[in-house]
Amino acid sequence: MAHKHGLLRERIQFANAEDKQEFTKYPTKAGRRSLSRSISQSSTDSYSSAASYTDSSDDETSPRDKAQVNTHGSSDFCVKNIKQAEFGRREIEIAEQDMSALISLRKRAQGEKPLAGAKIVGCTHITAQTAVLIETLVALGAQCRWTACNIYSTQNEVAAALAETGVPVFAWKGESEDDFWWCIDRCVNTEGWQANMILDDGGDLTHWVYKKYPSVFKKVRGIVEESVTGVHRLYQLSKAGKLCVPAMNVNDSVTKQKFDNLYCCRESILDGLKRTTDIMFGGKQVVVCGYGEVGKGCCTALKALGAIVCITEIDPICALQACMDGFRVVKLSEVIRQMDVVITCTGNKNVVTREQLDRMKNGCIVCNMGHSNTEIDVASLRSPELTWERVRSQVDHIIWPDGKRVVLLAEGRLLNLSCSTVPTFVLSITATTQALALIELFNAPEGRYKQDVYLLPKKMDEYVASLHLPNFDAHLTELSDEQAKYMGLNKNGPFKPNYYRY
Amino acid sequence: MAHKHGLLRERIQFANAEDKQEFTKYPTKAGRRSLSRSISQSSTDSYSSAASYTDSSDDETSPRDKAQVNTHGSSDFCVKNIKQAEFGRREIEIAEQDMSALISLRKRAQGEKPLAGAKIVGCTHITAQTAVLIETLVALGAQCRWTACNIYSTQNEVAAALAETGVPVFAWKGESEDDFWWCIDRCVNTEGWQANMILDDGGDLTHWVYKKYPSVFKKVRGIVEESVTGVHRLYQLSKAGKLCVPAMNVNDSVTKQKFDNLYCCRESILDGLKRTTDIMFGGKQVVVCGYGEVGKGCCTALKALGAIVCITEIDPICALQACMDGFRVVKLSEVIRQMDVVITCTGNKNVVTREQLDRMKNGCIVCNMGHSNTEIDVASLRSPELTWERVRSQVDHIIWPDGKRVVLLAEGRLLNLSCSTVPTFVLSITATTQALALIELFNAPEGRYKQDVYLLPKKMDEYVASLHLPNFDAHLTELSDEQAKYMGLNKNGPFKPNYYRY
Amino acid sequence: MAHKHGLLRERIQFANAEDKQEFTKYPTKAGRRSLSRSISQSSTDSYSSAASYTDSSDDETSPRDKAQVNTHGSSDFCVKNIKQAEFGRREIEIAEQDMSALISLRKRAQGEKPLAGAKIVGCTHITAQTAVLIETLVALGAQCRWTACNIYSTQNEVAAALAETGVPVFAWKGESEDDFWWCIDRCVNTEGWQANMILDDGGDLTHWVYKKYPSVFKKVRGIVEESVTGVHRLYQLSKAGKLCVPAMNVNDSVTKQKFDNLYCCRESILDGLKRTTDIMFGGKQVVVCGYGEVGKGCCTALKALGAIVCITEIDPICALQACMDGFRVVKLSEVIRQMDVVITCTGNKNVVTREQLDRMKNGCIVCNMGHSNTEIDVASLRSPELTWERVRSQVDHIIWPDGKRVVLLAEGRLLNLSCSTVPTFVLSITATTQALALIELFNAPEGRYKQDVYLLPKKMDEYVASLHLPNFDAHLTELSDEQAKYMGLNKNGPFKPNYYRY
Amino acid sequence: MAHKHGLLRERIQFANAEDKQEFTKYPTKAGRRSLSRSISQSSTDSYSSAASYTDSSDDETSPRDKAQVNTHGSSDFCVKNIKQAEFGRREIEIAEQDMSALISLRKRAQGEKPLAGAKIVGCTHITAQTAVLIETLVALGAQCRWTACNIYSTQNEVAAALAETGVPVFAWKGESEDDFWWCIDRCVNTEGWQANMILDDGGDLTHWVYKKYPSVFKKVRGIVEESVTGVHRLYQLSKAGKLCVPAMNVNDSVTKQKFDNLYCCRESILDGLKRTTDIMFGGKQVVVCGYGEVGKGCCTALKALGAIVCITEIDPICALQACMDGFRVVKLSEVIRQMDVVITCTGNKNVVTREQLDRMKNGCIVCNMGHSNTEIDVASLRSPELTWERVRSQVDHIIWPDGKRVVLLAEGRLLNLSCSTVPTFVLSITATTQALALIELFNAPEGRYKQDVYLLPKKMDEYVASLHLPNFDAHLTELSDEQAKYMGLNKNGPFKPNYYRY
């Protein structure tokens, strides 16, 4: 049910269409076949953001085969081209403008250096925004080594900029699977340095350490994991009694969830549909399958722009909420013939079936904002009687024998992963949560955290939120002593019980 | 933080202003002084709904002194006037139209009678809506005896109608405190009948049984309690190890909370302001103190009607939500001079201070949608330099020496309790939840529930929701076997984990 | 198509239900039969606002038979009870707080007295708000004599307060038709004073002068008329060549229209439905017939509160607007069975037919926000097979033989005239427009206005708007000389061409 | 004040960034200098839509120098490459799906051929959507010759497809000014064919005919003009007594205006901001300068997505509307320091001055949705102390000496012209209006139209709307005879007076 936006960490630029098709459509499928089971799916997800600002051109040499040195004489890194550092630096500076929470964290922690002594090995998307996170960790006293959690998503220029400042980075856009594991290994397995903290996104780094260097865990004070997939893996380890250090699940913190799902989808559904189809929202009949946080975000935005929205639900409580929010609750089959747009947000599979696709009207747009790419039964459309016509990047017309066209976006993969962007502000919330989780685990007194998976303490979640309020010039009210006593609260929070629903 | 709408269970009719003032303003205060500590505050709360449809006129005889018999020859009841039964029956019939969930519960349980053998003693507001609940319990097989949880709120005609059909009811509008306890006692202490279930609202009945007839608890299978206050008492008993039967907290079920707080306040804030002040919402500057569910409801509605709304918050997470929802987050003192309307929804005290009241502009409206009547420091306004002018029922002008007027609604008590109505539909959700909680406790196998306070199982919460979907002609989707398996769910729910935030 | 809010000029207080029924239901109908054709319908419209703040009690003597003198020794007035003046004064003072536009007009015109020499005879509702207008006219230099345009709507206390300060007022609540014309006559036909300006609402005063004292028109510089009906009469006179002075149609000024229709209905539809039925809006299926300004206001508000709204239209342009605004456009017969609420806003007749009423579901609410009381074919419901049950003031249940109930509000008359209030702020806009129209006509150089009906010059309309901006602390931007030149505009307006659609 | 969307007629694809910069930034400016005064500004406006679907590659030969023949043997056309016809045909077919109004016009007119005998010379953007219009005109019986109204906007493949089917088209992307006039001339000046109707967009074609072939007007039955600029020229001609044929101003028809301004901007403001800046709308402080239709559209959308919006206005009526719609009305200078986004929608110049730009906060986004590119004083930013940094196509960072960055979009030109798309549905409304205007003028009986500029008759405006209702499955209600009589309306419209404000 949870939502996998964690994968999407950077600005997306619509690059040359050919280029994009090349790496999204064909190679992805080819690539997947050759990947071993152990690699996380997310590490090879297609990534529409071209991610490369400068023309990385004709240089076909593998970074592994190049000898590169930064201006400080270090060669403890492996990136596409260290000369792109300057360009990458500018991107990082631009990202910093929207990540003032991390900047203020740097300032607040100027004296104490809460991560002094921390040796963090990280495996995330490598983008301007994560660069701001990494450089914040360094500013807080940590040493870091970094690699990429996805073979397509690295911004080469940013990787170069990090390497130039002395962060050992091992990542480039378009890694092979072998490259992927080689990079991880180079991060972990280095002489004279041993990680005592892990920051992971997807669980591949953790998996590698478990498999190859289990002794590393003796020194590791904790793992911070961000993705649904990685968190799932950790819970399984914990259940199996194999988790040997505390782990922090930052995926499920309130602030991150609300931004990744409700607030972000409220904007990205519009953006994704507009960029791909130029649809006019006013007056369009839309059915949204699923009225969880993602569905609520989609419905709010579409209704606000004049679409006529109905929803499908399996859960009567969510269905009742939809009613009260002004949406008709229907079964998909009842309305499918009239719909202009069908959006899935369920986390379930085969929510839109071939039979329903057969009954859609000409021009109906179908897309997925949910979890997996099986919500729409896309496989059923790959049959001989139907013609696929790629009309734009991420846009296919599926043509029925009678000429009817259904417009399928991103081949049923996540629309907002593939066709829209995630604002830096959202990434700032995730990055700040990660930074605080690292500080918490690194500084926790012996015994506070066992070998288990923890949620971020509510007070830290509140702290993440408070660090982002200045962006809105928002002014919090403080409880008076008398009020705090009356409410039975500490003046500094936490302000709500754990079960509070927000 | 929770919200006390439970008190408000009936239609409010704007009756003769004098009449209302009489029982709200002066007698309330006088009355309170004479009440013992043990009586719950809610039992004597002012109740703006006149509640009496027919003119109960000049009959000054206490019901306790009258000999009344219903048409079936029974005199096991005590109501104002049994002859009003026919009028009350019509009210019940009208209420039934909007409480189809209970009606359908009657139908579904026609064969099995899940409450056969249940002997329920109840203490709630006695209104057309609770009458539908009581008659549903009877239809499900229960025997019931009933009394009122508030000395002002009984609809005499409805009480008569219940008594006429054979339900022993002991309640009338305008009871004294002595009457109040006498009625409770008559319900509990009757020969040849001993309750095995308790349905309480406020905890006074439970308190009485504990104090006077503790042995009754030997046969009682459970207590169902609806109010914040009553639930609080139960938790205290439980903590003190004195709770001797299972208790069900229906106040905190998801469905009830959302309706009592978010959805209901979204409507009642408009209704309450309009009925008292005829204010035009468009363009008004409004500050809402507190962005919990109640605050969210108020803000949504006011913004939708063109008010310019800002909020105050102590909790950074709620504050960040307010930002994302488009509300400026301010400190009250920063904006107080510009505001046209100030609304408190915090559950805290002294949120609006005398100093802030002094700085309000002429004509500013101040009211409370929160929990207690101390959110606005009304006491500070009862000082010699200020003049109070009652301009309408529930509306006072407080006049400063320079002529400035502040418009105080309901003397700072809950606006929606005092000045607006609660739709029958909302009451239907509460009543259905109560009925299901009774069924659950009565039928639970030995040992499922200990001597503790429980929340309604999520599946039952979902069932309450599902019973209300037909009102909206909403059609739920059913999981296929394959989908249920994929999601790891039972096809019949529950569909969400307990911590799900909705 | 225009909307008749002009009739509704005061606060409505829900008084004792009996009282209201008495004068709305039976007497109205009886009354109408006895009225001659010449009286405008509006003068006898039912008026739900009880309008009488103090208990006018048992005094059955006709004001015409009483000898009353104010404290200044004058007896040139006829009101219910001059002793109620003090109470009325307070009402006027309260109204002044929300009518700052008129107050600022008084201040701006302090030196010049633009109405010095004006002798105005007025015929309007007599309420606290019109009192503020009248006293403004006096402050601007005018002499005024005043009478009521509706036999039910006079606030006796306000009339007394005006009489006390020396304005000859002839009006009371509950006039007979004979009283009505007698009062008008006493205003016009007085020795030593001859009106040179007429302010009318409904056209009855104008009609009387035409019929009885045509010579008065020799001195009259102009007529200001506010109502749809009165304006219609004036256009007919003009067409027939019988209009012998300039007349100003203030009904159709932009500002007034937007407030009377779009903005006011946006609020009053909610208020009217809530006060009469306690309906919960969330999730309700509503059809609004007509998507003009009134319909747009209703739809916006209902949608914002979670209703699911569809509309009917005859005009494809308005229908297309509805589509773009997110409303399904349907034929009434297609959806009538599913609807919870049916609202007419068309200005047309028989928009809801008996056949459609027959097909409504149980509990469906039907009401009219449009022009006439024939939009719903209420007459067809007065047939023997149907039972009418009055369940509250303004609320009838029509019961079909099978037990189905349809809830008819205000017997099909205007919901907002009958069941909700009009904020003083809206009345301020109307009153300010009237004052400016009087100033314009009185001061216009000879020949600017012929014997025709004029709209208020756009610049004056803009001035009315600008006088109301301070209520919102709104700050206008001024054009620089360069910008004004670039736009070809005068810096002081008018800023838009006459055909501008706003 | 009117809005110049007419310029924007096609899908925009974000092509290779370099490519775009090339033709928008430098050549535009260079190009303009060399253009004579007589050419309309719109003909050389930058055009962000790359417009070329296939790679037009390396072919540097001027189309004027190529000999091309279509498969029917005709060479009466001049396009980039006739071989691209097939690709263009598919684009036209896709456009047809969203232009069902024109398709239904083809069907309805199948028998009568209302344009039989019409010889139309047209000068518009040449895109898939205009191709649907042209082929509709042909289907209705007309002969057409066509050329482009903008040197950058032609979709070469579409031009080829038209030429292939036999429409003489003279247009390609990237014409020189000389090419531009040569193409127009080839359309008009052809042997054995003389135009009797003109369809123009910008007035260049009309200008050319006036200048070079005035005798053509002897046979011309009328001119249909769509752009603000072209209409302005026609009114000037008319005023000067030089207009020698009737002209139809389709720019100001109700339907077109609402779609071009209110409805389209409501969507394109979000699209334009998102595509250029990836901004998160939630919680952003935005000031919109101007609350006309464009401003209303922008404000509605931004508020709906959680931005906190205030407005500036010079017109008190629009300002009052803003208040009632829930927007604070401010002076720009009062708020400029706090704003995250500044949007101009005024039609005026220097609305945002250098002084205000100096006071903006770091990261403030500035853009223009209004008419001209002088609303923001961009010229003042081209000064030595400021650094311009192009960070993306259409996005410049202006950097102050202290490091502050202001984000300027599209160099102050129209955001929606430059950075977002116009849905085909909007273009369908314009195209249908043009087709009906041609039919009306061509078939009007002698004398109905003089040598003047006319607005489309309201009935035709209604017809355009009605042709678009099926897209929304909207069902109009028909007046009964009785109702039509009561309302004084013809059952087929027009339904509103000319001054109706919608």
Q: Give Cα A487 to chain centroid, integer Å.
A: 37
**Least CB–CB distance from B308: residue in D283, D307, D328:** D328
If one compares B81 and D111, the residue with the highest pLDDT of the two is: B81
If one compares C373 and B209, the residue with the highest pLDDT of the two is: B209
D191 token code pair? 């042997």
> Is C470 an 8 Å CB contact of chain A?
no
- Taking residues B442-458, report their average pLDDT: 94
Nearest Cα to B417, choosing from B12, B62, B135, B75?
Answer: B12
Asked whether the predicted pLDDT for residue D74 surpasses 80, the reply is: yes
B42 token code pair? 């809610």
* Residue A31 confidence (pLDDT): 30
Helices of type H across C316-361: 316-324, 332-335, 354-359
Query: In degrees, to the nearest 5, what angle opens at C-alpha B367 toward C-alphas B366 and B371?
Result: 145
User: C326 contacts in A (CB within 8 Å)?
Assistant: 282-283, 303, 305-308
- Taking residues C59-86, report their average pLDDT: 94
Asked whether the predicted pLDDT for residue B168 surpasses 70, the reply is: yes
Nearest Cα to D468, choosing from D422, D429, D435?
Answer: D429
If one compares C47 and C337, the residue with the highest pLDDT of the two is: C337
Sheet holding B387-392, edge to edge: B328-329, B308-312, B285-289, B341-344, B365-368, B405-409, B395-399, B387-392
* Whole-angstrom distance, CA of residue C444 vs CA of residue C113: 15
If one compares D394 and D43, the residue with the highest pLDDT of the two is: D394
Contact between residue C216 and residue C195 where contact means Cβ atoms under 8 Å apart: yes
D226 annotated as belonging to a binding site for a ligand: yes
Asked whether the predicted pLDDT for residue C98 surpasses 90, the reply is: no
* Residue B437 confidence (pLDDT): 97
Burial of A283 (0-12, 13-18, 19+ CB in 10 A): buried
* Whole-angstrom distance, CA of residue C285 vs CA of residue B473: 9
Residue A44's pLDDT band (cuts 50, 70, 90): low
* Residue D41 confidence (pLDDT): 61
Name the least confident of C54-68, C97-111, C130-144, D398-412: C54-68
| Per-residue pLDDT tens over the stretch B5-39 | 332 222 222 223 333 332 222 222 223 223 334 56
* Whole-angstrom distance, CA of residue B160 vs CA of residue B80: 7
Nearest Cα to B25, choosing from B394, B501, B464, B421?
Answer: B394
Contacts with B271 (C-beta within 8 Å, 6 or more apart), sequence order: B416, B419, B420, B421, C270, C271, C274, C275
Contact between residue A269 and residue A301 where contact means Cβ atoms under 8 Å apart: yes
DSSP annotation of A82:
G
* Residue A272 confidence (pLDDT): 96
Q: Which candidate in A255, A288, A320, A348 is best for mutational testing of the B interface (most B CBs within 10 A)?
A: A320
Contact between residue C55 and residue C15 where contact means Cβ atoms under 8 Å apart: no
CATH 3.40.50.720 domain extents, chain C: 263-419
Strands (E), B152-207: 169-170, 197-200
Contact between residue D347 and residue D371 where contact means Cβ atoms under 8 Å apart: yes
Mean pLDDT estimate for chain C: 88
Q: For A437, how many CA atoms within 13 A lie in the half-sphere containing its CB? A: 31
* Residue A109 confidence (pLDDT): 79
Asked whether the predicted pLDDT for residue C17 surpasses 60, the reply is: no
**Least CB–CB distance from A306: residue in C307, C308, C324:** C324
Asked whether the predicted pLDDT for residue D402 surpasses 60, the reply is: yes
* Whole-angstrom distance, CA of residue B383 vs CA of residue D141: 87
* Residue C39 confidence (pLDDT): 60
DSSP for C76-126?
A: --B-S-GGGHHHHHHHHHHHHHT-HHHHHHHHHTTTT-TTTT-EEEEEE--
A161 token code pair? 């900029």
ipTM of the complex: 0.88
* Residue A152 confidence (pLDDT): 87
* Whole-angstrom distance, CA of residue B114 vs CA of residue B120: 13
SS3 category, D496: coil
- Taking residues C73-93, report their average pLDDT: 95
Query: Residue C484: phi, psi to the nearest 5?
Result: -60, -40
Contact between residue B305 and residue C301 where contact means Cβ atoms under 8 Å apart: yes
Percent above pLDDT 90 for chain C: 79
**Least CB–CB distance from A11: residue in D11, D17, D278:** D278
A102 token code pair? 């991390």
> Is C481 an 8 Å CB contact of chain D?
no
Q: Which residue has the tokens 């307006």?
A: C493
C60 annotated as belonging to a binding site for a ligand: no
SS3 category, A311: strand
Query: Residue B153: phi, psi to the nearest 5?
Result: -90, -5
Nearest Cα to B340, choosing from B318, B322, B367?
Answer: B367
Asked whether the predicted pLDDT for residue B307 surpasses 80, the reply is: yes
DSSP annotation of C42:
G
C251 annotated as belonging to a binding site for a ligand: no
Asked if the Cβ–Cβ distance from B320 to A463 is below 8 Å, we say no
* Whole-angstrom distance, CA of residue D281 vs CA of residue D408: 17
Element (H or E) spanning D151, and its range? none
Asked whether the predicted pLDDT for residue A244 surpasses 60, the reply is: yes
* Residue A7 confidence (pLDDT): 28
Q: How far is B171 from chain A (nearest CA, A)?
A: 35
| Per-residue pLDDT tens over the stretch D418-447 | 888 889 999 999 999 999 999 999 999 999
Contact between residue A405 and residue A390 where contact means Cβ atoms under 8 Å apart: no
Q: Which candidate in A90, A274, A407 is best for mutational testing of the D interface (most D CBs within 10 A)?
A: A274
Name the least confident of A28-32, A362-366, C35-39, C347-351: A28-32
Q: Give Cα C343 to chain centroid, integer Å.
A: 20
* Whole-angstrom distance, CA of residue B327 vs CA of residue B320: 10
* Residue C304 confidence (pLDDT): 97
Asked whether the predicted pLDDT for residue B431 surpasses 80, the reply is: yes
* Residue B52 confidence (pLDDT): 42
* Whole-angstrom distance, CA of residue C81 vs CA of residue C83: 5
Asked whether the predicted pLDDT for residue A20 surpasses 60, the reply is: no
Asked whether the predicted pLDDT for residue B459 surpasses 50, the reply is: yes
Residue A97's pLDDT band (cuts 50, 70, 90): confident
Q: Which candidate in A262, A265, A294, A315 is best for mutational testing of the B interface (most B CBs within 10 A)?
A: A315
Give the residue on B whose Cα is nearest the Cα of D328.
B308
Asked whether the predicted pLDDT for residue C334 surpasses 50, the reply is: yes
- Taking residues B177-187, report their average pLDDT: 97
User: C325 contacts in A (CB within 8 Å)?
Assistant: 282, 306
Query: Residue C182: phi, psi to the nearest 5?
Result: -60, -45
Four-way CATH pick for A263-419: 3.30.2000.10, 3.40.50.720, 3.30.390.50, 3.40.50.2300 = 3.40.50.720
User: D98 contacts in A (CB within 8 Å)?
Assistant: 363
CATH 3.40.50.1480 domain extents, chain A: 66-252+423-463
Element (H or E) spanning D107, and its range? helix D100-108
Asked whether the predicted pLDDT for residue A25 surpasses 80, the reply is: no
* Whole-angstrom distance, CA of residue C10 vs CA of residue C128: 7
Beta A308-312 vs A285-289: how paired, if at all? parallel
Helices vs. strands in chain B: H and E counts, helices first: 19, 15
Contact between residue A386 and residue A267 where contact means Cβ atoms under 8 Å apart: no
- Taking residues A100-122, report their average pLDDT: 93
Residue C40's pLDDT band (cuts 50, 70, 90): low
Asked whether the predicted pLDDT for residue C5 surpasses 70, the reply is: no
List the 285-314 stretch of D: residues with Cβ below 8 A of C.
293, 312-314
Q: For B183, how many CA atoms within 13 A lie in the half-sphere containing its CB? A: 34
Nearest Cα to D172, choosing from D128, D120, D125?
Answer: D125
* Whole-angstrom distance, CA of residue B235 vs CA of residue C39: 70
| Per-residue pLDDT tens over the stretch D82-97 | 999 999 999 999 899 8
Q: How far is D252 from chain B (nearest CA, A)?
A: 30
Binding site feature residues of A for substrate = 127, 201, 226, 256, 260
Binding site feature residues of A for NAD(+) = 292-297, 313, 416
* Residue A342 confidence (pLDDT): 98
**Least CB–CB distance from B323: residue in D282, D324, D326:** D282
SS3 category, D454: strand
Four-way CATH pick for A66-252+423-463: 3.40.50.300, 3.40.50.1480, 1.20.1090.10, 1.10.760.10 = 3.40.50.1480
Residue A58's pLDDT band (cuts 50, 70, 90): low
